[in-house]
Structure 1
């Protein structure tokens, strides 16, 4: 698949563990001090071992100054879209425009139902996500003076007042794997954020998934490049090379540059509980990946302005 020409982002994928309570915040601070671009957080509100993600995001925003914060991804079935919109806009305003909203259609339905949510069939879950995105963007559209009305199958807004608007154009990044979710990502998403370990065929699986997103974007009259492609990754640093992302920083850099150029991935989010690994990722891997990708783009004559 093509290199979409996007600027590269590097960040963390943090487990919001409740014990010790400030560990996730410390990892966020370590993400920033390592020179990385963003810190992202799982959201499993039915999980008693985890902190509430919105509370954690707010605390982390107050402890940092530069990095972007994002949900990766927010569990929509246990959250009302109007409230999600206002929470996201509030955090973006308070942080000075440092928030992006990752959304998921839902999983772990037994736990969702136990927490008071409604069990949805897969098709209805995707429908609900599409409706929620419409509501969220409608609430953010403060310039529109009429109350928001969305009469959806799963989510509804019957005359909701609009606002506040976020400080910047908050991107909606969708966690998607299956065909209908990929189509939704291409039709309306600002970003796509899968997890590498969930792909049975590894990076090779990205090709067909990207194609589905691109086709849906083109059919909707959108430039496929407007959809930022991010990837949650795991690995281990070692002196000797092994499998994918199992070896020294130089090996990581070459492998990630290959994924960026072959599959258009422009954001890499490292899942780790090690501040030392974050430091190596930010200070050693990320600069090398940027250099390798920039050099390849120059050789191919593909360096060009792309959506930010």
Structure 2
């Protein structure tokens, strides 16, 4: 089941105390390569590890936009009222970049050796439930009076509330067994298992337990984000996450659309693996899931299906036309000079499978169009003063494809990376295959590649406009001009590309 959460990708790093600078460098690399999230395991009783909360605070200061989280915080050694204030404080200091993974404590002997409570499995679940109540009560500054939770394991009697975090911090639960899974469904914002403990084949059964508990508690199952810590190796191999980047993308796409996983976190301290995951796997999964969610069936009619001996049906795939409205007076290119490819063959018949690649291309383009519209709306609201920065962060948290970018600049930068990645894939993989398959398409492909360069230049202008809003152009005129030019160029380009390529993709049997 796809819960249709926005996708996010992150790293799960070892907080090794032997080389602290290397740990921070991996966190910075994760951000530089475009990952959304950096997380660290939390084992306070392990002297080979840095203290996780101290490390999170340091990494927050050493990064700009990436979200940070414990994966997962050891609750028995971190009193919930103190943890709530620590998380809220770091969220405020980092500009809304903190999420809170929580664990009941998987090594009770080690916890007890550190002076913490030794709890049985049942006691750990009970204490966890109480801790969530305490954390949320401390964050609830809208309720008058002190926070009060009178549990068996935690008692908070009139504690002052606050500070409130910069955004609604998600509580992500590391749960494996039925009682914790049911608790996750009742009270949590996210579920965070690891593939080494819970393989993909077991996700469906665990999801069913969470979903049922959520419904019984009066919640929608989709209120619980599904995250997944990944263990795997790039290279030759078979099995789950043991092959190429393309193999990984196919497997993770299936987990997203079939099991509802929306946040994939790679457990690795290898810079190359993190780079491949961020730059090759993540964009491919985003594109494939966007296409699936856009509903290929609605663009490729499957019924009534043409008889097998008829060889399919005439070309009937619906593309998205150019809106024909221009917001900018700039002329970035002459549309009359655009070459055209060969016409659609009159008697050609197309199978459903033939049309799927073109439909996928249109679906990815529609995703880019929707994101562009969201950027325009956000720019308008911020520049006319109708929302303050904190409200803008909240709005971005709800709508961004990258889910965890908390500022206008970070969101736009993330979108620019998404467009650039899409164009890079086309330039390096799709266009050469089209040229080789049909030389008549060469002028069209060359023109599309040229327009990619122009769009990239406009994206750079958007970046410069964002800087100018802060430093030299508080009115935002430079930014608005750049966004208007981007809108005109991108919408025109996407429509031209669909018009010229969707049918050849079907005719030539080229997969996207």
Superposition pairs for residues 140-289 of structure 1, below 5 Å?
140-199=139-198, 202-238=199-235, 240-289=236-285
State the distance in 2 between where 1:105 and 1:300 align.
Answer: 44
Deviations 1:187-234 (CA, angstroms, capped at 9, x unpaired):
0100000001102xx211000100000001111111111110000001
State the distance in 1 between where 2:227 and 2:266 align.
Answer: 11
Aligned 8 A contact 1:241 1:251 in 2 = no
State the distance in 1 between where 2:167 and 2:154 align.
Answer: 25
Normalised TM-score (structure 1): 0.95
Normalised TM-score (structure 2): 0.58
Report the 3-state secondary structure (helix = DSSP H, G, I; strand = E; otherwise coil) of the residue aligned with 2:60.
Answer: helix
Deviations 1:165-185 (CA, angstroms, capped at 9, x unpaired):
000000000000111101111
Superposition pairs for residues 99-114 of structure 1, below 5 Å?
99-114=98-113
- The structure, 1 or 2, with the larger RCO (C-alpha pairs under 8 Å, 6+ apart) is 1
Deviation at 1:35, TM superposition (A): 0.5
Report the 3-state secondary structure (helix = DSSP H, G, I; strand = E; otherwise coil) of the residue aligned with 2:277.
Answer: helix
State the distance in 2 between where 1:23 and 1:47 align.
Answer: 18
Deviations 1:63-93 (CA, angstroms, capped at 9, x unpaired):
1111110111000001111100000000100
More strand, by proportion: 1
Report the 3-state secondary structure (helix = DSSP H, G, I; strand = E; otherwise coil) of the residue aligned with 1:176.
Answer: coil
2:375 corresponds to which residue? none
**Rg larger in 1 or in 2?**
2
Number of residue-to-residue matches in the alignment: 303
State the distance in 2 between where 1:145 and 1:66 align.
Answer: 33
1:67 corresponds to which residue? 66
| Residue 42 (structure 1) aligned with residue 38 (structure 2) | no
State the distance in 1 between where 2:230 and 2:161 align.
Answer: 37
1:116 corresponds to which residue? 115
Structure 2: gaps spanning 5 or more residues: 299-362, 371-397, 400-512
Aligned 8 A contact 1:253 1:286 in 2 = yes
Report the 3-state secondary structure (helix = DSSP H, G, I; strand = E; otherwise coil) of the residue aligned with 1:247.
Answer: coil
More helix, by proportion: 2
Report the 3-state secondary structure (helix = DSSP H, G, I; strand = E; otherwise coil) of the residue aligned with 1:149.
Answer: strand
Aligned 8 A contact 1:93 1:166 in 2 = yes
Aligned-CA RMSD value:
1.6
Structure 1: gaps spanning 5 or more residues: none
1:128 corresponds to which residue? 127
